[in-house]
Amino acid sequence: MHTKTIAQLAAGLRNGDFSSEELTRAYLDRIARYDDSLNSFITVSEEVALQQAHAADQRLKAGDSTALTGIPVAQKDIFCSDGVLTTCGSRMLENFVAPYSATVIEKFNAAGAVMLGKTNMDEFAMGSSNETSYYGPVRNPWNTDTVPGGSSGGSAAAVAARLAPAATGTDTGGSIRQPAGLCGITGLKPTYGRVSRYGMIAFASSLDQGGPLAQTAEDAAILLGTMAGFDTRDSTSIDEAVPDYTASLNADIKGLKIGLPQEYFNEGLDAGVGKAVEAAIEEYKKLGAKIVDISLPNSHLAVPAYYVVAPAECSSNLSRFDGARFGHRCETPRDLEDLYKRSRGEGFGPEVKRRIMIGTYALSAGYYDAYYLKAQKVRRLISDDFKQAFEKVDVIMGPTAPTVAFKLGEKKDDPITMYLSDIYTIAVNLAGLPGMSIPAGFVKQMPIGLQIIGNYFDEARLLNVAHRYQQVTDWHTHAPAGFE
């Protein structure tokens, strides 16, 4: 059963080929058998999963089911889940059992989905390799000596290893798309405001966005249909009707105008990755798409702008973790100042501390105009570049990451090199656009991703474009050795 897509599993449940409880036990068994080698889960919620599976079977018998009823899903450990440990990959929250559920979790529960557990992640979603987690690094199932990407690396590794048919992730600067690319699965970052952030522990509030990771674009369409929608509890949520994302999956893409930014095919791109992306573009030409050369002249400023804006927002968001209200609290503090200093010093890891310090500096009275305000102006320039490009093209394509997955520890002590892992994804978040990564081949036996960027709220087109490619290729069907 673990080789099937969500669409196939849903059909099997409806036909009575197997029950949700049988399906859930099969995935729980795979997690118990394989996850020691991957460390993709922080919490396995077996009791909750089996209760939900039993309830799903009752719904299926009654004919009161949705496309996700009875389907096991892994949730990134950044979404609060009522009564379940929610750590955000940090010591700061190692004992935090959420008293409520995020809107995303509520939507999955209402649909009758089954929560297998909470997946490992970079601490507070800060990282590109899933090595900053307090619970240890996640390993890429294609080669366990390499990283799965981050921050949603646990979700990506779990789906790639077929420990879950799908998982949720969050994307602040590429944290769904980059691990999807490095693990050879499909990952979608929706338009900012498309998916509610209520109950999603904040890193950078103007950039964070939840989205799905799955084997196929069809599965991602099913998942997004459940996750998307307006939420009055999230002030950044957009009141935009949610279409049936599966309805247009098979639409013809003849005449589709694909923009190729010259800035995405430069000396920083691994030659093998570049060739694989070019081969994917050729497949689109065979499907009748037209290629248009475009330029995103300010894209080279995305990384420096992001690493001012994101740390500034994280320094503000993480100020709530002070040892006084919830989360980690130091032992026997001498006074209030000692409580704050030691609780935060013990609770946060090195990368989180680094970004808090950078962000606090950028927001300080003497440097706000020089750094934060300037970064926001650059952000507008980057957004304008995309706006002009979408006057000429329907979608933009390029590599998801500049290289395949790198070795564990290879970049851990070099933050700048690590930050460049997201060089092709960050601009999408700064502009608030939707983007996705789909499997597009292998380089040195490791998967690579093709990134597809769309205009605002054009997720249906992205999913259609991705699905049409997956109908004529089989990269998305490959599973890593030992996890087939």
Beta bridge partners of 259: 292, 396
Beta bridge partners of 85: 97
b/e map 420-457, b = 16+ CB within 10 Å: bbbbbbbbbbbbbbbbbbbbbbbbeebbbbbbbbbbbb
Angstrom distance (rounded) from CA 122 to CA 114? 24
Query: In what side-by-side order are the strands of the sheet with 257-261?
Result: 41-44, 114-119, 72-76, 166-170, 210-214, 186-189, 435-443, 446-453, 395-399, 257-261, 290-294
Which whole-number Å values give the CA distances from 318 to 136, 206, 255, 358, 462, in the listed order? 21, 14, 47, 13, 34
Question: Catalytic: which of 175, 237, 299, 315?
Answer: 175
Q: Which pair of tokens denotes residue 316?
A: 């503000």
Angstrom distance (rounded) from CA 317 to CA 320? 7
Angstrom distance (rounded) from CA 49 to CA 43? 12
Beta bridge partners of 381: none
* Beta carbons within 10 angstroms of residue 414's beta carbon: 10
* Beta carbons within 10 angstroms of residue 212's beta carbon: 32
Angstrom distance (rounded) from CA 186 to CA 451? 10
Angstrom distance (rounded) from CA 87 to CA 123? 9
Asked if 76 is an active-site residue, the reply is yes
Q: Which pair of tokens denotes residue 343?
A: 């609780």
Asked if 40 is an active-site residue, the reply is no
Q: What is the dihedral of CA 381, 386, 387, 392, to 10 degrees?
A: 140
Question: Catalytic: which of 45, 90, 128, 151?
Answer: 151
Q: Is the dihedral of CA 3, 7, 12, 13 positive or negative?
A: positive
Question: Catalytic: which of 20, 40, 76, 152?
Answer: 76
Cβ pair 178, 421 in contact under 8 A:
yes
Name the region of 432 (left: φ>0; alpha: ψ -120 to 50; beta: rest). left
State the maximum Cα–Cα separation within the chain, in Å, rounded to a whole number. Answer: 70
- DSSP letter, residue 305: H
What is the Cα 371 distance to its own chain's centre? 28
Angstrom distance (rounded) from CA 466 to CA 112? 27
312, burial (CB in 10 Å: exposed 0-12, middle 13-18, buried 19+):
buried
* Type of residue at 335: D
Q: What positions carry a catalytic annotation?
A: 76, 151, 175
